[in-house]
Amino acid sequence: MGSTIAAFAFMEARRVVITGLGVVTSLGWDLDDFWDNIVNGRSGIKRITSFDPSNHKCQIGAEVEGIDFSQFFANSRDAKRAERFIQFSVTASKMASAHSGIDFSHQDPNRAGVILGTGIGGLQTVERTQRAYDEGGPSRVSTFAIPMMIANAAGGIVAMDYGITGPNFCVTSACSTGNHAIGEAWKTIRFAEADIMIAGGSESAITPLAYAGFSKMRAMSTRNDDPERASRPFDVDRDGFVMGEGAGVVILEELEHAKARGAHIICELTGYGTSADAYHPTAPHPEGLGASQCMERAMKAAKISPEKIQYINAHGTSTAHGDIAETIAIKSSFGEHAKNGLVVSSTKSMTGHLLGAAGGVELAISALALETQTVPPTINLENPDPKCDLDFVPHEAREAKIDSVLSNSFGFGGTNASLIVSRFAE
């Protein structure tokens, strides 16, 4: 055991690159269309239609509409038997794989893996199954209820579709889920447990129960008469987050593996940091201590100084305490650079907050920002909060020289995860 640990400790960490991106959001699922909507500051938030919200305090959300999931499953029956968060995961995984150009039938199945997370999982199935049970007892519960509820089902289905037999597990860490899943996949490749990983997060929590619960916490916006302007991170008039749904998935590969198959390398995943606030079940540490530590650990892993980060895709949920705590954390970790050359934006102003899927979607945005040298905007930032005093790129996207991007995800329970992507260089 000791010799194994010693050998592991002295193993040279392998480089990990991103070769494919897949997103399913209210702003689209075609990658070009999605990015066009992001850089042009379009909102995907509307009055929700999946249930009648008239008796809820929050009646708006960023719903995914108009997609035929059956085209991404082996057959339409399998698509119908999959919970919505699973449909999102499978679809985004297939899109990311297609974008990467990888053919898993030509890969060693033992050297490929899947880490797909979700913050809440099959909540729609839970609600529907409880109603069926209340109305008709045990006999009314579907045979597929449990496979549709469990959080790891998405990764299992993706692995079965591709015949992938390497590492496969699910991460569930609230709003940090997507970043944790991708970060753990990064570590899996770096330490030679796999050469290819499908990683990201998915969520489908636009349901009556979720809306009632989050609203009771006063966490959600009630700007129902103006949905597109409801998510307003860092604005003094913000009144809570707006729920989004969807998935964000990336294809990670060991550098030499990607080069050997002639893959297009979008960027390199260079850093991953985690921490815990250990402060409160839902509120962030008011001084941003956990968030700051998390960002610093990611930079240490990437072996870069704060000045080498040009853009931060902020967690920025549009909540009263969260936006201030993140601002304080950024200033603590980046010092003078925070106000001298660093730009920060929250794309949740457009996509809403996708909870466990946020990290995957926002890492895709971070990779596209690097590839296009474009910083997406924070829309609806009309009256900046004096306590949120950084350059948050209000209203319009901005061209900029970007070498590295840091993407933050902070979740209930004080769980934090930051990722860093950098322009690929030999």
Q: What is the pLDDT of residues 380-414, one digit of tens each?
A: 999 999 999 999 999 999 999 999 999 999 999 99
User: Which candidate, 166, 197, 158, 172, places its Cα nearest to that of 117?
Assistant: 172
Answer whether 15-260 and 271-422 agree in fold. Answer: yes
What does the alpha-carbon distance between residue 87 and residue 79 come to, in Å, rounded to a whole number? 7
Helix (H) or strand (E) holding 141, with range, is none
Which pairing describes strands 374-375 and 112-118: parallel, antiparallel, or unpaired?
A: unpaired
What does the alpha-carbon distance between residue 118 and residue 354 come to, in Å, rounded to a whole number? 10
What does the alpha-carbon distance between residue 229 and residue 244 come to, in Å, rounded to a whole number? 14
The answer on pLDDT for 374 being more than 70 is: yes
Domain limits, the chain: 15-260, 271-422
Q: Which residue has the higher pLDDT, 12 or 18?
A: 18
Burial state string for 304-315 with b = 16 or more CB within 10 A and e = fewer than 16: bebebbbbbbbb
Residue 351: CB atoms within 10 Å: 30
- For residues 178 and 363, the answer to whether their CB atoms sit within 8 Å is yes
- For residues 396 and 377, the answer to whether their CB atoms sit within 8 Å is yes
- For residues 211 and 241, the answer to whether their CB atoms sit within 8 Å is no
What does the alpha-carbon distance between residue 398 and residue 378 come to, in Å, rounded to a whole number? 11
Give the pLDDT score at 75: 84
Helix (H) or strand (E) holding 20, with range, is strand 16-24
Taking the model in full, what pTM does it have? 0.96
pLDDT in tens, 214-265: 999 999 999 999 999 999 999 999 999 999 999 999 999 999 999 999 999 9
CA R_g for the chain: 20
Res. 415 pLDDT band, cuts 50 70 90: very high
The answer on pLDDT for 9 being more than 60 is: no
Phi-psi region of 424 (alpha: psi -120 to 50; beta: other; left: phi over 0): beta
With tokens 């899943």, the residue in question is: 181
Q: What angle do CA 184, 78, 121 make, to 5 degrees?
A: 40
What's the CATH class of domain 15-260? alpha beta
Which residue numbers are catalytic? 175, 315, 353
Domain topology for 271-422: Peroxisomal Thiolase; Chain A, domain 1 (3.40.47)
- Percentage of the chain lying above the pLDDT 90 cut: 95
Res. 11 pLDDT band, cuts 50 70 90: low
pLDDT in tens, 146-160: 999 999 999 999 999
The answer on pLDDT for 7 being more than 70 is: no
Give the pLDDT score at 426: 84
The answer on pLDDT for 371 being more than 70 is: yes
Report H helices in 222-380.
255-260, 289-302, 320-334, 348-351, 358-372
Residue 398: CB atoms within 10 Å: 16
- For residues 360 and 250, the answer to whether their CB atoms sit within 8 Å is yes
What does the alpha-carbon distance between residue 397 and residue 395 come to, in Å, rounded to a whole number? 7
